Amino acid sequence: MTSTIADEVCLDADVLVRPSELARAWQMNVKTVLGLVKDGRLSAIRTPGAQYRLREADVRAYCDLHGLPLPPTLAARERRVVLVTKPGPVARAVTRALEGDGVRVRVAPTLLDGVATAAAERVGIVVIDARVDDVPIAAAVRALRTADALRTTRVLVFGGARPRLKDVAHVGGKTPHEIASKTLRALDGAPEPLGDAPGTPA
């Protein structure tokens, strides 16, 4: 056995993927996927029943590196968004626009609620209104990054000043339509930055 296979019980909230799910998504035999695990090219853990499971972050990294499609369990997660903003016309308009495009939206009125909802829903993107200030945005992003299941979740911020955080994009949207369209671009894998970075049109 190689050192990339951890013989441990996964106790965190990470999404675990079965080798058979990958085999179906990649249109290959499950033995081929297990061979990648046993060769150490694809990291996996063992369950108490001695079955292999792959962590979401490892699967995403491997898929990105080799241009392979995500399994349906992870691809479905991509179409979920937590919108952190006060209830009102902006929240309703952004939600309506995103849901019209098949995105599942949960609105959270505070950053603490947003982090909790993101963890419970395992969302692909958290969109934060910078004017929601129950906790600093940097603290909320750190909380998101501590959960294994949310390490790959993208964070977009609209309204207010640009946050000076490494992995947070400022969408620069002023209207609900702009916020929704830039969120959809992010869901579809648009490279960052999405908004008003120097030299990038808002």
Verify that 64 and 105 share a domain, yes or no.
no
Classify residue 110: in a domain, yes or no: yes
Final residue belonging to a domain, choices 73, 106, 132: 73
Q: How far apart are CA 16 and CA 87, in angstroms?
A: 34
Whether the pLDDT of residue 4 is over 90: the answer is no
Q: What is the mean pLDDT of the chain?
A: 79
Residue that terminates a domain, selected from 26, 46, 73: 73
Q: What is the pLDDT of residue 104?
A: 87
The mean pLDDT value for 122-148 works out to: 83
Same domain, 94 and 180: yes
The helix or strand, by DSSP H or E, that contains position 14, with its residue range, turns out to be: none
Residue 112 or residue 189, greater confidence: 112
Question: Would the pLDDT of 94 be above 90?
Answer: yes
Residues 6+ apart with CB under 8 A from 147: 12, 13, 119
| pTM recorded for the entire structure | 0.60
Of the candidates 73, 94, 115, which is a domain's last residue? 73
Angle between helix 30-38 and 19-26 (nearest 10): 120
Residue appearing with tokens 């609900």: 176
Same domain? 36 vs 57: yes
User: Which segment of 37-51, 71-85, 125-139 scores lowest on mean pLDDT?
Assistant: 71-85
Same domain, 82 and 176: yes
Residue 197 lies in a domain: no
Q: Which residues contact 133 (CB under 8 A, 6 or more apart)?
A: 111
Give the range with max mean pLDDT: 13-17, 177-181, 192-196: 177-181
Instruction: Give, as one character, the DSSP assignment of residue 44.
Output: E
Same domain? For 152 and 97 the reply is: yes
Q: Per mean pLDDT, which of 5-9, 40-44, 73-77, 123-127 is the most reliable?
A: 40-44
Would you say residue 200 lies in a domain?
A: no
CB 28 within 8 A of CB 66: no
Q: Is pLDDT of 19 > 90?
A: yes
